[in-house]
Every structure is written in structure tokens, then in C-alpha cells.
Amino acid sequence: DAGVIQSPRHEVTEMGQEVTLRCKPISGHNSLFWYRQTMMRGLELLIYFNNNVPIDDSGMPEDRFSAKMPNASFSTLKIQPSEPRDSAVYFCASSFTTGAKSYEQYFGPGTRLTVT
């Protein structure tokens, strides 16, 4: 299994530009999570999907952030317009969740975003 795949691994952009981060979850997993990690705030959950439906987006910082999951094998996190304070490492994770249980989350390698 290739694990969770994220692209790009590194992104450098200028303030005001649109940024799109991509994630391919592990095949067979039905839950997908987007996290952000900074030195100041640590690892924080932004949004998560179950069966392609957003369940909890309370961690999304503001309207500039949006996430989609058009199918079970692909998700995007978009920032428009980007700001320097969005600079962070963004992780995608996936897991298998039934009606009764949530199982272990497996993380991708992350996308390091730098907004200048």
C-alpha cells in the first residue's frame, strides 16, 4: 500500500495567490482529515470528512479556507487568498470508520507551505 499521498510536498507562493493542496487517502478508508501544524499552535484539525461528506469543519480558520472531497480517493484543501500567517505544514490523514468505531488514522508526509 502506498499510504496517504499528498502533493505538492513543498509550495512557495506570494501573498494573495490561491493555493491548492491535494490528498489521496489509503484505498478502502472512508474518513479523511486535514491538519495544520505550526510551532505556535502545534497540530490542529481543520476539517474531516466521512464517506466524502464534511462532518466537522469547526477547525477551519476562516472563509479563505475551503476543502472538498469529490470522491473517495481524492480531496483538496484550498486557500484563497493566501496570507503569510498560513505558512505551515499541512497534513492529510485517513482512517476507516464504521457506525460503531473509528480506527487508527494514517498520516501523509505533509505539504510545507510558505507564503511570502
Specify the residue, 72 or 81, whose C-beta has the smaller distance to another protein: 72
Specify the residue, 81 or 106, whose C-beta has the smaller distance to another protein: 106
- Residues 7 and 92: their CA atoms lie apart, in Å, by 10
**Residue 83: half-sphere exposure toward Cβ, Cα within 13 Å:** 6
The residues of the shown chain that bind another protein, judged by CB under 8 A, are: 4, 31, 33, 42-45, 48, 50, 55-56, 91, 93, 95, 97, 99-110
- Residues 68 and 35: their CA atoms lie apart, in Å, by 14
Specify the residue, 33 or 65, whose C-beta has the smaller distance to another protein: 33
**Residue 68: half-sphere exposure toward Cβ, Cα within 13 Å:** 6
Cβ–Cβ under 8 Å, residues 34 and 54: no
The three cell numbers locating residue 107: 498520516
Q: How far is the CB of 25 from another protein (least distance, A)?
A: 13
Q: How far is the CB of 105 from another protein (least distance, A)?
A: 6
- Residues 1 and 102: their CA atoms lie apart, in Å, by 20
Q: How far is the CB of 35 from another protein (least distance, A)?
A: 8
Q: How far is the CB of 34 from another protein (least distance, A)?
A: 12
Specify the residue, 54 or 81, whose C-beta has the smaller distance to another protein: 54
